[in-house]
Chain A
């Protein structure tokens, strides 16, 4: 790590690891943290002690990612955990999701913020049902980059033929998934081969190491030009009597969900449809010339337009449609099944609307990847549905823009988040 201001900062990459305990997922994460020197001596000594207590021969790096007491008792990961490491040029956030079928919702949660997914395959077992499930979920949630990591190569004598066979099998079904960028890598997480260091056992593989692939993967919002989308979170009206300059200050605060905006651009505020131009863009009251994707800024307009939380500022040349009915892929996340008779709350950007289920088009069997008819939605179900909305939403298709294509479903009786949706 360096604080030298001349070093290149490649920002931040969020990725997801999918696989079960048996695939060596925790070991892979432990290895990444260990080999990038993220694990410090006292943590290492604690897991060494635990490994010895459990009668293990070598230090069990998977212990690094064991989080909660309940899980430690069950020996499985039951929720999404977030891990961090940095290479000096880039910061990484790993979302670690469990692979069991009943935890589809956790994987969808972890995938929602990721730009790359590592799909782990045990080289001895090849492609399993869960491999197909993980790959399908990754594509549904719109992860643009997939890295298929064929692990435990040490247990198949580092056989190139085994690797090539699994790769060919994977490509055969992956063609249907529509993910643009799929890459493959042979690994031994246990021995650290091809993760940070190349090791000596996989010399037939001449591609990049796992860390090299991570370093080269484009971050979110860097690969396509996007339309400017700015959901208003909060309106700042200081009305400071001691400072007359601020008397007319009306700052629209939010984060740029997509695209960029310059001072002088023509904008439209939704739902009113009124137009103005950008007078200033600020962070903390200080002017900046331009706002880019993912930046949190304050926008001041040349004209006084009544605007509040839940409104959206867009460029006048790129106004999205206002929709009162949406078709979406939904993942149901609550113990109680979705009740067709009930009204739910949909939260989309900073805007809420009451919603009723109009139709379930089909459910997706995440194991066979077949579309099956469905009357209800239970926990971990994925389905294509239609909602009717009380308020219009300003939506884009999810695959075009995750920020304005995604929503969550809230049960107003207990305020729980019960589902996640992606607009088609």
Chain B
């Protein structure tokens, strides 16, 4: 049989991601890699190791912490950065709230979209000219047209009608002072590719990605984890009076701010079972689990225009 490819699909995706990270390092003077402790950004760290070892990463890691993150993920974030010996910057939405640059409409409002403000403040504080993120085009419709190198103006805004053409693998990361570039090395990966890569590379993940039992309530058809203990004390998603709380075996497909990531019912307690579930699921990744994308048909596009990743 004739050879139909030079590399397996995972090797190809890996090589492309490494190339993109090196373009950022080669073209930008002060980049940063966003690392949340979630599965996509865990893949990004492995890709950065493959791109730059035995050297240090040519960028620090940064997490924009809403203060409402799962403590297992926060602990994992710190542990992984320490293991790699790389610098981790954490900037918090709560600090933006104290400064008055983030004002919640009400106490219970999700802080997820307010990460954009804190991110822009951090970009200004450190003078970053590029942010490397783990967003994927298959996650959501508005992302399908996102460039691999996405230009943002000095307000962090994304203009879908005024993006730079991107041809071959010739990336244009040039920007003026104050503007910046968002670079997405795993743009071409799907959820399945991510899980296959985690399996192949034997990557460690925070425990909440695997089936575990936790108290949940059903709200508007979604499984909502309740009374989730927070790192700084207190709980997120307090149960409502009269609400039925059940102990359910669940896992998270995506992990983010507690207020807007819901788990799915699952008994997949290892990566190979998750790969199998991903291959046979009937619900999309964000459809099942992201409460913030359902507000309106175009809500992701709206958030991106405002500077969201």
Partner-B contacts on A (CB < 8 A): 1-3, 9-13, 40-43, 65-70, 72, 78-84, 86, 90-91, 93, 105, 108-109, 112-113, 216-222, 233-234, 236-238, 240, 243, 246, 249, 251, 253-255, 283-285, 292-296, 309, 333, 347-350, 402-403, 406-408, 410, 412, 415-417, 420
- Out of B6, B165, B275, B284, which one reaches A221, CB within 8 Å? B6
CA distance A93 to B9 in the complex (A): 11
User: Which of the candidate stretches B47-55, B89-97, B240-248 sits at the interface with the other chain?
Assistant: B47-55
Beyond A3-B275, A11-B12, is A408–B167 a contact (Cβ under 8 Å)?
yes
B22 pairs with A219, CB closer than 8 A: no
In the bound complex, CA of A251 to CA of B199 (Å): 29
Given A68-B160, A91-B193, A234-B22, are A109 and B5 also a contact pair (CB < 8 Å)? Answer: no
| Contact status A93-B145, CB under 8 Å | no
Query: Which residues does chain B contribute within 8 Å of A412, judged by CB atoms?
Result: 174
CB-CB under 8 A from A105, the residues of chain B are 165
Point out which of A105, A219, A417 has the most chain B C-beta atoms below 10 A from its C-beta: A417
Does B219 have its Cβ within 8 Å of any Cβ on chain A? no
Interface members, chain B 183-206 (any A CB < 8 Å)? 187-188, 190, 192-193, 196, 199
Residues of B within 8 A of A309 (CB): 26
Please list 6 pairs of residues, one from A and one from B, whose beta carbons are closer than 8 Å in the complex, sorted by A's number. A69-B302, A240-B54, A253-B22, A284-B53, A295-B11, A349-B170
Q: How far is the CA of A417 from the CA of B165 in the complex (A)?
A: 6
Q: Which of B53, B276, B281, B302 has the most CB of A within 10 A?
A: B53
Query: In the assembled complex, which residues on chain B have CB atoms less than 8 Å from the CB atom of A220?
Result: 6
A-B CB proximity, top 5 nearest: A11-B5, A296-B18, A284-B50, A42-B287, A219-B5
Residues of chain B from 148 to 166 with CB closer than 8 A to chain A in the complex: 151, 160-161, 163-166
Taking Cβ atoms with an 8 Å cutoff, the residues of B that contact A are: 2-9, 11-16, 18-19, 22-23, 25-26, 49-56, 58, 137-138, 141-142, 144-145, 151, 160-161, 163-170, 172, 174-176, 187-188, 190, 192-193, 196, 199, 272, 275-276, 279, 281-284, 287-288, 297-298, 301-302
Q: Which residues of A contact B5 (CB under 8 A)?
A: 9-13, 90, 219, 222
Query: Which B residues lie within 8 Å of A108 (CB)?
Result: 167
A78 to B159, CA, bound (A): 13
**Complex-state Cα separation, A283 to B21, whole angstroms:** 14
Residues of A within 8 A of B190 (CB): 84, 86
CB distance from B99 to the nearest CB of A (A): 31
- Alpha-carbon distance A348/B170, docked complex (angstroms): 8
Closest to A421 in B: B167
> How far apart sit A347 and B167, CA to CA, in the bound complex (Å)?
11
- Inter-subunit contact B9/A254 (CB<8 Å): no
Among A43, A67, A410, A416, which residue has its beta carbon within 8 angstroms of that of B145?
A67
CB within 8 Å: A-B pair count: 208
Which chain B residues border A417 with CB–CB below 8 Å? 164-167, 172
State A221–B187 Cα separation when bound (angstroms): 22
Residues of A within 8 A of B276 (CB): 3
Q: Give Cα A246–Cα B137 distance, bound, in whole angstroms.
A: 38
Q: Evaluate contact between B9 and A11: CB separation under 8 angstroms.
A: yes
| Min distance, Cβ B176 to any Cβ of chain A, angstroms | 7
Q: Bound complex: CA of A90 vs CA of B199, how far in Å?
A: 18
Interface centre among A66, A221, A415 (most CB of B within 10 A): A415
Q: Give the complex CA separation of A72 and B297 in angstroms.
A: 10
Partner of B142, one of A68, A84, A238, A406: A68
Q: Complex: how many Å from CA A82 to CA B187?
A: 10
- B22 contacts which of A217, A240, A254, A408 (Cβ < 8 Å)? A254
Name B195's closest neighbour in chain A (CB-CB).
A3
B160: chain A residues within 8 A (beta carbon) = 68, 70, 79
- Expressed in whole angstroms, the Cα–Cα distance for A13 and B12 within the complex equals 11
Measured CA separation A41–B281 after assembly (Å): 9
Chain A residues, Cβ within 8 Å of B281: 40
Q: Which one of B26, B51, B58 lies within 8 Å of A284 (CB-CB)? A: B51
Q: A40-B281, A253-B22, A347-B170 in contact; A218/B2 too (CB < 8 A)?
A: yes
B19 to chain A: closest residue by CB: A255
Chain B residues with CB under 8 A of A9: 5, 8-9
Q: How far is the CA of A412 from the CA of B52 in the complex (A)?
A: 29
Most buried by B among A68, A105, A333: A68
Q: How far is the CA of A78 from the CA of B26 in the complex (A)?
A: 31
| Distance from B55 Cβ to chain A, minimum over Cβ atoms (Å) | 4
A112 with B168, Cβ < 8 A, contacts A40-B284, A67-B142 known? yes
